[in-house]
A and B are shown apart, each in its own frame.
Chain A
Amino acid sequence: MALSPDDVKRAAHLARIAIDEGEAQAVLAQLNGIFRLIAEMRAVDTRGVEPMSHALDVVQRQRGDRVTEGDQRTLLQSVAPHVEGGLYLVPKVIE
């Protein structure tokens, strides 16, 4: 199954990556090559096989519901592109 330019643009939209018509066309051929490679595993009969999400099938560790992190706001915001008064600044979202 080959991807269409619209599939590429839809994925780019979902991934929030700006892409123009020329880039979409260029990347399309490469993605189709990769999906031809991926097609090999789609045909495999996997009835009755459990999906494997972790190499050792361990269960999620849990911990007590306690505060473990101190306040590091100043330190962590020291690398932010735009902060003011301890808040991250972004373009206005709600009118």
Chain B
Amino acid sequence: MHNATLKSLSAQLAGRTVSSVELTRHFINRINRLNGKYNCYITLDEGASLKQAEAADRKRAAGSGQALTGIPIAWKDIFCARGWRTTCGSRMLDNFVSPYDAHPVEQFGAAGAVILGKTNMDEFAMGSSSETSHYGPVRNPWDVNAVPGGSSGGSAAAVAARLAPGATGTDTGGSIRQPAALSGICGLKPTYGVVSRYGMIAFASSLDQGGPLARTAEDLALLLNVMAGFDARDSTSLEREREDYARELGRPVKGLKIGLPKEFFAAGAAPGVVKAVEAALAEYRRLGCETVDVGLPNMKLSVPVYYVLAPAEASSNLARYDGVRYGHRAPEYSDLADMYRKTRAQGFGAEVKRRILIGTYVLSHGYYDAYYIQAQKVRRLVARDFAEAFKRCDVIMGPTSPTTAFRIGEKMGDPVQMYLNDIYTIPANLAGLPGLSIPCGFDEKNLPVGLQVIGNHFAEARMLNVAHQYQQATDWHMKVPPGIEIQ
């Protein structure tokens, strides 16, 4: 049951060959048995999950089921869910039980989906390895001594280890696509503004975007159908007609123009990654696609730009954690200022503090124009590169990440090395473009490689079509991590 795709589970629920209670219990049992090995869930609430499952079964029995009615979904612990502890991987929110639902949580609730649990992540989504969590590192199902990527590493590992049929994540600089790649699954970051940020704990608001993780492109489409939608409570939510993201899945890709930015294939990517991506491109050519060279000359500036903009926005967003209204408060202090300082020193981990300090510095008097405004200008140059490239192609392809999964602890002592890991994913965030990652092979260590597909704004349905057609012709997405029984 746990190796079935979400699409197939949906059909089984619709055909009444399995109930949501049975399905949810099955996954909870697996999580209870295996979470110690992977550390992908922070919080479970069996009672709450089963109550939702019972309601879903009643909804199905009454004939009002939808695609996701009764499907258990893992939620990155950055999404507020009423009555659920929502920690964002931080000691600061260790005791925070959300009094309200995020917009995507509301939408999945209305569709009858079940909250299976809240998944582990880098603290406040700041990281590329899921090691900065207050709750300890997540382990990669393909190799438990390797990281699953981050920041949505708990969600990615849960899907890869068959501890959830689908999950949610957020992507500010690659936090859905990179863990999907390193964990051998699929992940999609939609166009900025497609998924509401209401109730999604803020990191860098001009870049943050929620999206789904699953094992097939088709499952991503089903999840995005529920996750996307206009919400007036997010000032940057886009007012658009609802669309069916699965509508183009069956379309042949013959004639598709694939742009290959030379910057994605220049020095930096590991040979095993390049080899798998080249093989995927050869497969697309066999399917009748054409490849064209495009340039993203300012791409190399993306990481420096990101490490001004994201910390600047984070330093502002995280100012709210003051120990007054919710979250951690230092047990001892002399006055109000001392309470703030100690609360924040105790509640935040090293990486979060580092980014707040960078952000505070670049926004401080005398530095704002030289850093923040300059970064916003260079951001536009990166976005223009993409606009030029999309005049010549339908989608852009390349590696999702320069390497496969690295060892736990390997990059923790060197923030710059960790940051450079996001070189291929950050550009799409800066330009607000949709990007997805699908498995396309393995390197010499037998660790999964991700193929990244970047589309123009609102091209999600086409990108999912492009990914789905590849998955009809190949079986990389069907591979199961070692030691996971699939009965």
Interface residues of A (CB under 8 A from B): 3, 7-8, 10-12, 14-19, 27, 30-31, 33-42, 44, 46, 49-56, 58, 60-61, 63, 72, 75-82, 88, 90-93
A51 near B380 with CB under 8 A, answer: yes
Q: How far is the CB of A30 from chain B (nearest CB, A)?
A: 5
Indicate which residue in A11, A51, A93 contacts B376 across the interface (CB closer than 8 Å): A51
B340 near A16 with CB under 8 A, answer: yes
CA distance A52 to B8 in the complex (A): 43
Q: Given contacts A55-B193, A79-B96, A90-B336, are A41 and B378 in contact (CB under 8 A)?
A: yes
Q: Given contacts A53-B206, A91-B336, are A40 and B300 in contact (CB under 8 A)?
A: yes
B236 near A81 with CB under 8 A, answer: no
Q: How far is the CB of B308 from chain A (nearest CB, A)?
A: 6
Known: A14-B360, A31-B361, A41-B301. 8 other contacts (CB 8 A): A40-B301, A54-B206, A56-B191, A76-B325, A79-B327, A80-B325, A81-B326, A93-B335
Q: How far is the CB of A13 from chain B (nearest CB, A)?
A: 8
Indicate which residue in A16, A51, A72, A90 contacts B344 across the interface (CB closer than 8 Å): A16
B323 near A81 with CB under 8 A, answer: yes
Please name all residues of chain B whose beta carbon is closer than 8 Å to the beta carbon of A33 when the two chains form the complex.
Answer: 414-416
CA distance A21 to B374 in the complex (A): 32
Please name all residues of chain B whose beta carbon is closer than 8 Å to the beta carbon of A8 when the two chains form the complex.
Answer: 357
B341 near A56 with CB under 8 A, answer: no
Q: B265 contacts the other chain (Cβ, under 8 Å)?
A: no
A17 near B348 with CB under 8 A, answer: yes
A46 near B192 with CB under 8 A, answer: no
Q: Given contacts A17-B348, A49-B380, are A41 and B337 in contact (CB under 8 A)?
A: no
Please name all residues of chain B whose beta carbon is closer than 8 Å to the beta carbon of A38 when the two chains form the complex.
Answer: 304, 307-308, 371
B374 near A46 with CB under 8 A, answer: yes
Main secondary structure on A side of the interface with B? loop
Interface residues of B (CB under 8 A from A): 95-97, 99, 191-193, 206, 232, 235-236, 238-239, 298, 300-301, 303-305, 307-308, 315, 319, 322-329, 333-342, 344-345, 348, 353-354, 356-358, 360-361, 364, 370-371, 373-381, 383, 414-416, 419, 430-433, 457
A31 near B358 with CB under 8 A, answer: yes
CA distance A40 to B193 in the complex (A): 29
Please name all residues of chain B whose beta carbon is closer than 8 Å to the beta carbon of A72 when the two chains form the complex.
Answer: 99
CA distance A35 to B416 in the complex (A): 10
Q: Which 6 A-B pairs have the closest CB atoms?
A: A55-B432, A51-B376, A46-B377, A18-B345, A52-B380, A81-B329
Please name all residues of chain B whose beta carbon is closer than 8 Å to the beta carbon of A11 when the two chains form the complex.
Answer: 357, 360-361, 364
Provide 24 A-B residue pairs closer than 8 Å at the C-beta atoms, listed in order of the A residue: A8-B357, A11-B360, A15-B356, A18-B341, A19-B345, A27-B354, A27-B357, A31-B354, A34-B416, A37-B304, A40-B301, A41-B305, A41-B374, A42-B374, A49-B381, A55-B383, A75-B99, A77-B325, A79-B95, A79-B97, A81-B327, A88-B324, A91-B339, A92-B336
Main secondary structure on B side of the interface with A? helix
Task: Across the interface, name the chain A residue whose C-beta is closest to B315.
Answer: A15
Task: Across the interface, name the chain A residue whose C-beta is closest to B372.
Answer: A51
Please name all residues of chain A whose beta carbon is closer than 8 Å to the beta carbon of B328 when the two chains form the complex.
Answer: 81
CA distance A53 to B298 in the complex (A): 18
A15 near B307 with CB under 8 A, answer: no
Please name all residues of chain A whose beta carbon is closer than 8 Å to the beta carbon of B305 when the two chains form the complex.
Answer: 41
CA distance A19 to B99 in the complex (A): 32
Task: Across the interface, name the chain A residue whose C-beta is closest to B428.
Answer: A55
Indicate which residue in A30, A37, A52, A92 contacts B354 across the interface (CB closer than 8 Å): A30
Please name all residues of chain B whose beta carbon is closer than 8 Å to the beta carbon of A78 when the two chains form the complex.
Answer: 99
Please name all residues of chain B whose beta carbon is closer than 8 Å to the beta carbon of A19 when the two chains form the complex.
Answer: 345, 353
Q: Given contacts A41-B378, A91-B335, are A18 and B326 in contact (CB under 8 A)?
A: no
Q: How far is the CB of A36 from chain B (nearest CB, A)?
A: 8
CA distance A55 to B334 in the complex (A): 44
Task: Across the interface, name the chain A residue whose C-beta is closest to B304.
Answer: A41
Q: Looking at A8, A16, A54, which has the most chain B CB atoms within 10 Å of its CB?
A: A16
Please name all residues of chain B whose beta carbon is closer than 8 Å to the beta carbon of A17 when the two chains form the complex.
Answer: 341, 344-345, 348, 353, 356-357
Q: How far is the CB of A11 from chain B (nearest CB, A)?
A: 4
Please name all residues of chain A whose beta carbon is closer than 8 Å to the beta carbon of B96 when the two chains form the complex.
Answer: 79
Task: Across the interface, name the chain B residue whose C-beta is closest to A36.
Answer: B416
Q: How far is the CB of B95 from chain A (nearest CB, A)?
A: 8
Task: Across the interface, name the chain B residue whose C-beta is closest to A93.
Answer: B336
Q: Looking at B191, B304, B340, B364, which has the most chain A CB atoms within 10 Å of its CB?
A: B304
B375 near A41 with CB under 8 A, answer: yes
CA distance A19 to B340 in the complex (A): 12
Q: Looking at A39, A77, A79, which has the most chain B CB atoms within 10 Å of its CB?
A: A79
